[in-house]
Copies of this chain bind each other. A is one copy, B any other.
Amino acid sequence: MLRIGVLGAGRIGQVHARAIASVPGAHFAALAEPMEAVAKQVQADYGCDLRSIDQIAASDDIDAVIICTPTDTHADLIEQFAKAGKAVFCEKPVDLDLARVQRCLKTVADTGATLMLGFQRRYDPDFNALRKAIGDGRIGEVEMVTLTSRDPGAPPLDYIDRSGGIFRDMTIHDFDVARWMLGEEVETVYASASVLTDPAIAKHGDYDSANVTMRTASGKHCTITNSRRATYGYDQRIEVHGSKGSVSAENTLEANITVADADGYHRPPTLDFFMTRYMAAYANEIAAFVKAVTEKSSPPTTGEDGLRALALAEAALLSIKERREVRVDEILPG
């Protein structure tokens, strides 16, 4: 039985709490949450202890932690708990600063602690079925990956300031999926972005519409299309074209029904919230963490994955600034 402490009981913390409850072999032992009312409610629902972060770090009866605190605390907490001998699951990103991420990963490596990064899309059943079709050789050699990723609406402007912008916050998931699908590291990055939904986003130095083209050393391509606006829901599609065929994953609609009338055929919108769209993925993700820690194997999504996705985001930002193709080794040498 893996005894888990959860740090932070905000929206995503509660998603993980529920996931722990559903995973055989996992026990939600303790929660650290500064807002007392929230902490008490979670305790009532799951029967966990309430402790401070430092208490959890010092607890002998905690094997692993799930870090769901604000982004700017991630790197410090990862280091603290790795040093304390706990296995660590941390929501992406480790940090918005590439150098800080590298230092953190070095610290973790020195401790030998397990560190898993929360890229939930890698645990989505449909995306896994798609990835398996590639692995099974059904499309031959991968040639072109096309990722379409659109949020239903823009986040609050103050979140934009904290998030590091669209590439570090939203596209970062696509960068990770791209690496997963390409099966080969990206060599060059080109990005183009604009503001089409709300001029206030431009004032905050960010974009709401972006396209990224990446190429690997062997000539494989990946294109990413992002928007902060999609009236029809949370648009999350993958298409991978290969030498023998193609495989795609479509959106998940609110219900699998069709109404036909004089205007034609109508289907419901796609699920419009990451917690409903990726509900199964979040549960699978925690199960994968528990499995990796229990079996002492490497987790499917590591700190290195977080670092490389962030480097692609940095490359995209440099590309926009200089209006040119950027080599990833300009950002992350050798």
Contacts and interface: CB of A to CB of B under 8 A. Distances in A.
A266 B268 contact: no
A257 B256 CA distance: 15
A40 to B, nearest CB: 16
Interface stretch (A108-116, A159-167, A240-248): A240-248
Given A195-B219, A262-B269, A265-B266, A150 B241 contact: yes
A98 to B, nearest CB: 23
A1 to B, nearest CB: 12
A219 B243 CA distance: 34
B266 A264 contact: yes
Contact of A209 (B133, B144, B146, B232): B144
Interface stretch (A2-10, A48-56, A81-89, A221-229): A221-229
Contacts of A244: 231, 261-262
A218 B259 CA distance: 24
A284 to B, nearest CB: 13
B256 A126 contact: yes
A134 B158 CA distance: 34
B211 A221 contact: yes
Most buried by B among A143, A231, A259: A259
A138 B141 CA distance: 29
A257 B132 CA distance: 11
A215 interface: yes
Interface stretch (A177-185, A186-194, A294-302): A186-194
Nearest to A197: B243
B192 A227 contact: no
Given A197-B243, A268-B264, A259 B190 contact: no
Given A146-B225, A196-B243, A250 B258 contact: yes
Contacts of A190: 190, 192, 213, 325
A36 interface: no
Contact of A265 (B126, B150, B223, B232): B232
Interface in A123-166: 125-126, 129-130, 133, 138-139, 141, 143-144, 146, 148, 150
A253 interface: yes
B215 A192 contact: yes
Contact of A129 (B141, B146, B241, B268): B268
B257 A144 contact: no
Contact of A139 (B126, B250, B261): B261
A144 B258 contact: no
B255 A325 contact: no
A297 to B, nearest CB: 25
Interface of A: 125-126, 129-130, 133, 138-139, 141, 143-144, 146, 148, 150, 188, 190, 192, 194-197, 209, 211, 213, 215, 218-221, 223, 225, 227, 229-232, 241, 243-269, 323-325
24 contacts: A129-B255, A139-B259, A188-B323, A190-B190, A190-B192, A192-B221, A194-B218, A194-B221, A195-B219, A196-B220, A223-B223, A229-B243, A230-B246, A231-B260, A231-B261, A232-B260, A244-B261, A246-B260, A248-B258, A252-B256, A260-B269, A262-B269, A264-B267, A266-B267
